[in-house]
Structure 1
Amino acid sequence: MNYLSAENLSKSFGDKWLFRNVTFGMSRGDKVAIVGANGTGKSTLLSILAGLMPSDEGLVSIRKDITVGFLEQQPQLDDNLTVMEVVLTGENPALLAIAQYEKALLSDNHDALDRAMQQMDTLQAWDYETQLKQILGQLGIHDVTQRVSTLSGGQRKRVAMAQVLIEAPDLLIMDEPTNHLDLETIEWLENFLSTNNATLLLVSHDRYFLDRVCNQIVELDQQTLFSYKGNYAYYLEKKAERQAILAAEVDKAKNLFRRELDWMRRQPKARGTKAQYRVDAFDDVKDKAHTKLGNDQLELNIRTQRLGSKIIEMENVSKSFGDNLLLDHFTYTFRRNDRIGIIGKNGMGKTTLLNMITGELRPDSGIISTGGTVKIGYYTQSDLVIPDNQRVIDVVQEVAEVMKLGTGETVTASQFLQHFLFDRNKQYDYVHKLSGGEKRRLQLLLVLVQNPNFLILDEPTNDLDITTLNVLEEFLLNFPGCILLVSHDRYFMDRLVEHTFIFEGNGKISDFPGNYTDYRERKASQPADRKAAEKTKAAQTVPVPESKPAAPVGESKRKLSFKEQREYETLEKEIEELEQRKSGLLGQLNTGSTSHEELTSWAREIEQIDQQISRKSDRWLELADYI
């Protein structure tokens, strides 16, 4: 059953075409993701398909008997309404019945309450209300009487998401649904959408999310749509094949173009004296030969100052706001090349910790001491604060007109911007013309151009396209300083992080030796481990003789043998080597410039490496308990 169709859509802003003559369709049950570089028009295309923006050319048709829900990237909500009033805004009869019931509960009108309850019975809306409360709870929305005007941007996104999910439309359109969600909420949303029967169209840069939710990937590239029937991993494979074929076609066209150009120049100028079919064909060959292959690489290679022996030391640091305790006597000494991820629900103090390290916020107690060689680069969640009438190149030149790369080479601000995929035309655009992702890329450039050796990244993946993310990952893998990272992008965290700070609530922060996936696997195995331990304890019925009291805990802890100590140290090196090999293979996969057989071979090797890392990490953790 066809739900949505678009024929020959075109859209431009000024003299720039975002896309031209694109045709697209969706059937019931499709779960489609639109991917592409920042500024290519993904959000604009969603708005046109949802009927919120007109196209310059073409036609969009949506089946008349279906409902459509749209989650904007930055939802516009009525500030005068409460959270519950926003959530219950919709055309669904069950929602209207719940709204009347909630209103009647707050009044003293027993007749109105009886009528509302009868209407709930008639529409079987009680189960609907239960589902509503579950969705609100999973999204972390607990105070439904709160006014929208008091909510942060992330909370507004959650309320808007609750509204669209509760309405349960036949066709659900979502623009960057995972932005501003914590990791647990993303995993819940991932499971909800993948098991839901709704037809789904979304834009997202979360690679795990795309792989597990979507069954079709549509790429917006070079003003054209390319469709791939399969998940994100399948898309990567087939895109590599398409690019290889296109590169061969362009190379062939360039050779033909040179011959035809020579023919055009040597023949008489009068068009009537030439073979008209060959003149017409020349224009087609010229267009093909000048096709951009999109192989521009975002190259990040910044010279940094070497860190001294003292970096940042935190000793018994505590911080609270009112009764909300965020950090309770937290102690940690940063070491060279630390790669630390931060995990925790929203509101637990992750950004507070970052702000205290940078000195923007003072702790209530404890000491934070920073070494003299430390130069912090802080990439924040807040939007870029730059006058709209300022040009992109002027923004960068205010920080530095020339920059030194790690190779010692000196580049101008304009050349550096080109490395960040800002071509010469874009460099002289006003800031207000940039897309959300382009502004984020500019913000990242402004942090890196200051040559930091201690990077603090607070949600750096928001609004960045996948191409930028892949190259940013490669840069950070080779970054010679420390990295402290908060991100909801699990793929990004898994590639970069070596250990994690877990914000558990009530001021407690634990240090876990592994990345996000390691932590989730360990957490999932804990109930089984606890049950096995209790079973073993119950089976131990032999009493301890009174004449031999139990030794203190500190004395009874077993020490590693010499052989086990050597094994422990060897495992660390082996795991590190496996991680490096895995990173190299992932980098090769992300380039996509090879044959299908090699891609399959690399993917199989990565799977085998993951199994080895998991097995060796379990043994390492077992031995680490006795260190």
Structure 2
Amino acid sequence: MNYVSAENLTKSYGIKVLFENISFHINEGDKIAIVAKNGSGKSTLLKILMGKEIADSGTVMINKDIQVVLFDQEIDFNPDLTIDEFMMALDSAPILALKNYHQSLYSTDHDFIEKALAGMEAHKAWDLENEMKQILSQLKITDLDAKMGTLSGGQIKRVALAKLLTETRAEHRHTLLIMDEPTNHLDVEMVEWLENYLNKAKITLLLVTHDRYFLDSVCDMIWEMEDKNLYVHNGSYATYLENKMIREDNLNATIDKANNLYRKELEWMRRQPKARTTKSKSRIDAFYETEKVAKTDTSKQGLELDFEMKRLGNKILELKHIDKSFGNKVLLKDFSYSFQRGEKVGIVGKNGAGKSTLLNIIQGFEKADHGEIETGETIHFGYFSQKGLTYKEDERVIDFIKEVAEYYPLANGKSLSASQFLRLFLFDDQTQYSPIAKLSGGEKRRLHLMYILYQNPNFLIFDEPTNDLDLPTLTVLENFLQQFQGSLIIVSHDRYFMDRIVDHILAFEGDGKIKDFTGNFSEYREAKSKQDSPEKPVVQKTEPLKDVSPAISSPSAVKKKKLSFKEQRELETIEKEMPELEEQRKKILDQLNNESDYEKISKLSDDLEKISEKLEDYEMRWLELQEILGEG
């Protein structure tokens, strides 16, 4: 069933063309993610689909039998309503049936009671209330009598998300669910629950997100908005990266070392979402080394920064026996930690656990109840908080940055101008000379980030830096931070970002307890999962010891005993066919690099995907068989 069809849409603001003559279709069951730089028109396109904006030209046809529901960054609500009243303020037949049923519980009017029961049956509303409570519980909303006006911004967003999911569940009509950055203000447990919920739900979804693990888990199609065009990629995030690479290779007509690394990254990325936690550390390390190339437009990248960071002394930052409580809630209890030069620390934990409080104590914005903080004399903090950018209404982007300095110093004695630094962070010349007030929300966030980095701090503190940043900006930021020689603290729920950047985790586990873990975020989560759900000990039968001859104890002899005849034949087949498949794959890549016909590119891309999938299956099976051999 077709939900939406758009033909030749064009939209401009003044002289800036967001997109031009783009066409697309949304069919029932599609789960689509939009990937684009902030300011490319993502939000405008969503508003056009919602009927809140009108395209300059082109047509949008929305099936009259569907409803379009939007989860937006801006939440409209009456502050005097309780959470329960806000949740029940839905104009849908199942919700109305549920409200009538609640009223009938206190009524003596038999006719009203019968009608209420009939309404519950007719609209299949019996399970709705229970599901609504489960959704609220998963999103950590428990006090349904609390007034909306008393909630924090993150709580309001979670309540609005719960309402939206309930509405989608309550309506038995066909629904197109549009979600703009739904994972902002959600902790990791909530994000993983939402992933699972959207995967299981029979819905049609159009999603804007910067969370790459979430995107890959939920969506099976990606729309890429770039240079006024819209490119449709069927498949995973890896498929999008691969198609983007092919397009850029054909446009540039050159293949250099970066492209080769790019292809290796894409090949690895195809396997990453399926078995992320089982990958060897060497593979993960290799991925993070090459991934920065994978998402970079090599035709546009012309700068690699070698920073001249402000000098760090011997003493960086030391916390000694820090305590902090608010009333009966203990956030920090006898916490001590000494930050080292070049250390990249990730801070994780549930919302309200005290992560932001620790950042404030480190910088002197709040005082600890007890304990001592020693900060090195040479330390210059750069703090990127969740607060917005402060600027003059008519101030231009380039002038705002030049207030810090005209040039950014490089280690080789050279420097970057303010304009060059802006360009590195995806501000083109036209945007640089535009008033800040005319930037999109995401562009202002990007400018705020760049403003912090341009001050050349030697100790960076980031509090949820990925919220509202687009994927291209995140790529630039990740590349910057990987080269950064100073110390770094990141508070973030973005699993992909944390995995790429940090090498050490401080985990707030509640009641003032902070776990010190060496490794990245996924490794911490895996270790914690094993700790929370320890495997039951395997009880083995005790057998008398037997003499083992040298021949039987040799590795080859054990292997022969461990693999069945069928498994041995399977291993031989895999080892024979894998090189042949690799050769086929190489030939297809060579053809793609020299092909300009779109239909042929599409056919070759399909062939490449099939061969890559078969290679992946072979590799995983080969590893399983090797594990069996190793157990011997």
Q: Does 1:343 align with 2:352?
A: no
1:287 aligned residue: none
Q: What is the distance in 2 between the residues matched to 1:100 and 1:341?
A: 49
Aligned counterpart, 1:178: 183
Deviations 1:182-240 (A, max 9, x none): 11111111111122110100111211111111111111111111101111111111111
**Which has the larger displacement, 20-29 or 74-83?**
74-83
Matches within 5 A, 1:208-247: 208-247=213-252
Query: Contact (CA 8 Å) 2:248, 2:299: kept in 1 or not?
Result: no
Q: Matched residues in 2 for 1:408 and 1:144: separation?
A: 60
**Any idea what SS the aligned residue of 2:534 has?**
helix
Aligned partner of 2:20 in structure 1 is: 20
The residue that corresponds to 2:157 in the other structure is 157
- Shift of the alpha carbon at 1:476? 1.1
**Which runs of 5 or more residues in structure 1 are unaligned?**
250-291, 540-591, 616-627
Given the alignment of the two structures, is residue 481 of structure 1 paired with residue 453 of structure 2, yes or no? Answer: no
Is there any run of 5+ residues in structure 2 with no aligned partner, and where?
255-296, 543-588, 594-604, 628-632
Equivalent pair of 1:380/1:457 in contact (CA under 8 Å): yes
The aligned counterpart of 1:427 is 432
Give the Cα separation in 1 of the matches to 2:492 and 2:301.
26
Aligned partners of 1:35 and 1:203 also within 8 Å: yes
Number of paired residues?
510
Specify the alignment match of 1:322 in structure 2. Answer: 327
Structure 2 match to 1:67: 67
Q: CA deviation at 1:119?
A: 4.2
C-alpha distance in structure 2 between counterparts of 1:24 and 1:512, whole Å: 46
Residue 505 of structure 1 and its aligned partner are, at CA, apart by: 1.3
CA distance in 2, matches of 1:385, 1:321: 30
- Kindly provide the CA deviation profile for residues 343-365 of structure 1, in whole angstroms up to 9, marking residues without a partner as x: 11111111111111111111111
User: Secondary structure of 1:362's match?
Assistant: coil
Q: Does 1:167 align with 2:167?
A: yes
Deviation for aligned residue 1:519: 1.6
| Alpha-carbon distance between aligned partners in 2 of 1:428 and 1:440, rounded to the nearest angstrom | 17
Check the 8 A contact 1:18/1:223 in 2, yes or no: yes
Give how far 1:19 is off: 0.7
Distance 2:393 2:212 in 1: 32
Aligned to 1:147: 147
Secondary structure of 1:531's counterpart equals: coil
Residues 103 and 376 of structure 1, relative CA distance in 2, 3 Å threshold: farther
Give yes or no for contact 1:302–1:448 (8 Å, CA) kept in 2: no
- Give the secondary structure class of the aligned counterpart of 1:189: helix
The letter of the residue matching 1:493 is M
Secondary structure of the residue that 2:66 maps to in structure 1?
coil
Alignment correspondent of 2:277: none
Q: Is 1:394 equivalent to 2:404 in the alignment? A: no
Deviation, 1:114, is: 8.2
Q: Which amino acid aligns with 1:205?
A: H
Larger deviation, residues 397-406 vs 15-24: 397-406
Whole-angstrom distance in 1 between the partners of 2:8 and 2:48: 12
State the percentage of identical aligned residues: 50
Comparing 307-316 with 408-417, greater Cα deviation is found at 408-417
Distance 2:368 2:411 in 1: 36
Quick check: 1:343–1:501 contact (8 Å CA) kept in 2?
A: yes
Shift of 1:141: 1.3
Q: Distance in 2 between matches of 1:196 and 1:38?
A: 29
Residue 298 of structure 1 contacts residue 420 of structure 1 at CA under 8 Å; is this kept in 2?
no
Give yes or no for the alignment of 1:97 onto 2:97: yes
Conserved in 1, the CA contact under 8 Å of 2:507 and 2:514? yes
Corresponding position: 1:84 with 2:84: yes
CA distance in 2, matches of 1:450, 1:196: 46
Classify 1:152/1:300 alpha carbon distance in 2 versus 1 (closer, same or farther; 3 Å): farther
Q: 1:383 aligns with which of 360, 381, 388?
A: 388
Matched-pair contact (CA < 8 Å) for 1:190–1:212: yes
Do residues 503 (structure 1) and 492 (structure 2) align?
no
Corresponding letter in the other structure for 2:249: A
Aligned equivalents of 2:220, 2:507: Cα separation in 1: 33
Is 1:343–1:500's contact at 8 Å kept on the other side of the alignment? yes
- The residue identity in structure 2 corresponding to 1:454 is F
TM-score (norm 2): 0.75
The structure 1 segments of at least 4 consecutive aligned residues displaced by more than 4 Å after TM superposition are 100-105, 108-119, 296-301, 592-601
**Which of 170, 191, 201 is equivalent to 1:196?**
201
Quote the residue 1:36 is aligned against.
36
| Partner Cα distance (1:17, 1:307) in 2 | 45
Match of 2:600 in 1: none
Worse-superposed segment, 68-77 or 130-139: 68-77
Kept in 1, the 8 Å contact 2:466–2:474? The answer is yes
Distance 1:478 1:328, change over 3 A: same
Counterpart Cα distance in 1 of 2:362 and 2:135: 35
Distance 1:372 1:345, change over 3 A: same
Q: Separation in 2 of the partners of 1:507 and 1:469?
A: 31
1:493 paired with 2:493, answer no
Q: Cα offset for 1:440?
A: 1.5
**1-structure distance, mates of 2:449, 2:250:** 34
- Give 1:218's aligned amino acid: W
Q: Are 1:299 and 1:419, in contact at CA under 8 Å, matched by a contact in 2?
A: no
Is the 1:299–1:420 contact (alpha carbons within 8 Å) kept by the matching residues of 2? no
Q: Which amino acid aligns with 2:35?
A: V
Q: Indicate the SS of the match to 2:32.
A: strand
Q: 1:375 to 1:600 in 2, by over 3 A?
A: farther
Measure the CA separation in 1 of the matches of 2:302 and 2:4: 35
SS of the residue corresponding to residue 416 of structure 2 reads: strand
Give the alignment partner of residue 529 of structure 2, picking from 516, 521, 524: 524
Contact 1:298–1:468 at 8 Å: present in 2 too?
Answer: no
- Cα contact 2:178–2:206 (8 A) shared by 1: yes
Q: 1:332 aligns with which of 337, 348, 355?
A: 337
1:420 to partner: Cα distance: 2.1
- Mapped to 2, the partners of 1:484 and 1:404 lie a distance apart of 23
Q: Distance in 2 between matches of 1:130 and 1:34?
A: 33
Deviations 1:247-269 (A, max 9, x none): 239xxxxxxxxxxxxxxxxxxxx
CA distance in 2 between counterparts of 1:404 and 1:528 reads 50
Provide the C-alpha distance between the structure 2 equivalents of 1:600 and 1:307, rounded to a whole number of angstroms. Answer: 47
Indicate how the Cα distance of structure 1 residues 349 and 114 shifts in structure 2: closer, same or farther if over 3 A, else same: farther
Q: Tell me, yes or no, if the aligned pair for 1:437 and 1:464 is still in contact at 8 Å.
A: yes
Residue type at the aligned position of 1:81: L
After superposition, the Cα gap between the structure-2 partners of 1:189 and 1:301, relative to the gap in structure 1 and judged at 3 Å, is farther
Q: Please state how far the C-alpha of 1:175 moved relative to its aligned partner.
A: 0.8
Residue in 2 that maps onto 1:295: 300
User: SS state of the match for residue 318, structure 1?
Assistant: strand
TM-score (norm 1): 0.75
Equivalent residue letter for 1:98:
L
Rounded to whole Å, the distance in 2 between the matches of 1:303 and 1:600 is 42
Q: Could you tell me which amino acid in structure 2 is paired with residue 507 of structure 1?
A: G
Q: Does 1:354 align with 2:353?
A: no
For 1:35-77, what per-residue CA distance to the aligned partner results, in whole angstroms no more than 9, with x for missing partners?
1111100111011112222222122122111222111122222
How far 1:518 sits from its partner (Å)?
0.7
Give the whole-Å Cα distance in 1 for the aligned partners of 2:374 and 2:176.
53
Instruction: Report deviation, 1:411.
Output: 3.1
Deviating more after overlay: 342-351 vs 394-403: 394-403
The offset of 1:511, in angstroms, is 1.0
Distance 1:158 1:472 in 2: 27
**Aligned-residue offset at 1:118:** 6.2
Verify the 8 A CA contact 1:298 1:471 in the aligned structure 2.
Answer: no
Tell me the distance in 1 between the aligned counterparts of 2:303 and 2:182.
Answer: 26
